[in-house]
Homo-oligomer: A and B are copies of this chain.
Amino acid sequence: MSKCEQCIVREFSSLKALNKDELIKLSDCKTSKIIKKGENIFEEGENVNGIFCIKDGVCKLTKLSPNGKDHIVKLVSKGELLGQRSMISDEPANLSAVALEDMQVCFIPKNEILGFFDKNNQFSMNVMKTICGDLKSADEHMVNMAQKSVKERLAETLVYLHETFGTNTDSTLKIQLSRDELASMIGTATESCIRLLSDFNKLGLIELVGKKIVLKDINKLKKIAD
Q: Is the CB of A187 within 8 A of B85?
A: no
Smallest CB gap from A118: residue in B: B121
Bound-state Cα–Cα, A129 to B136, Å: 16
Which residues of A from 49 to 79 have beta carbons under 8 Å from B?
63, 65-67, 69, 71, 73
Tell me which residues across on chain B come within 8 A of A168, comparing CB atoms: none
Tell me which residues across on chain B come within 8 A of A121, comparing CB atoms: 118
Which residues of A from 125 to 183 have beta carbons under 8 Å from B?
125, 127-129, 131-136, 138-148
**What is the distance, in angstroms, from A194's C-beta to the closest C-beta of chain B?**
18
Smallest CB gap from A69: residue in B: B147
> Main secondary structure on chain A at its contact with chain B?
helix
Of the candidates B63, B136, B144, the one whose C-beta lies within 8 Å of that of A139 is B63
Stretch from A14-22, A32-40, A88-96, A198-206 forming part of the interface with B: A88-96
Tell me which residues across on chain B come within 8 A of A94, comparing CB atoms: 136, 139-140
**What is the distance, in angstroms, from A139's C-beta to the closest C-beta of chain B?**
5
Smallest CB gap from A64: residue in B: B143
Tell me which residues across on chain B come within 8 A of A124, comparing CB atoms: 124, 128
Q: Is the CB of B88 within 8 A of A132?
A: yes
CB-CB under 8 A for A147 and B65, given A118-B121, A131-B131, A136-B94: yes
Bound-state Cα–Cα, A180 to B88, Å: 37
Sample 12 A-B pairs with CB under 8 A, ordered by A number. Answer: A63-B139, A63-B140, A63-B143, A71-B143, A85-B135, A88-B125, A91-B136, A94-B136, A128-B128, A135-B138, A145-B145, A145-B187
Binding site for B on A (CB under 8 A): 63, 65-67, 69, 71, 73, 85, 88-89, 91, 94-95, 118, 121, 124-125, 127-129, 131-136, 138-148, 186-187, 226
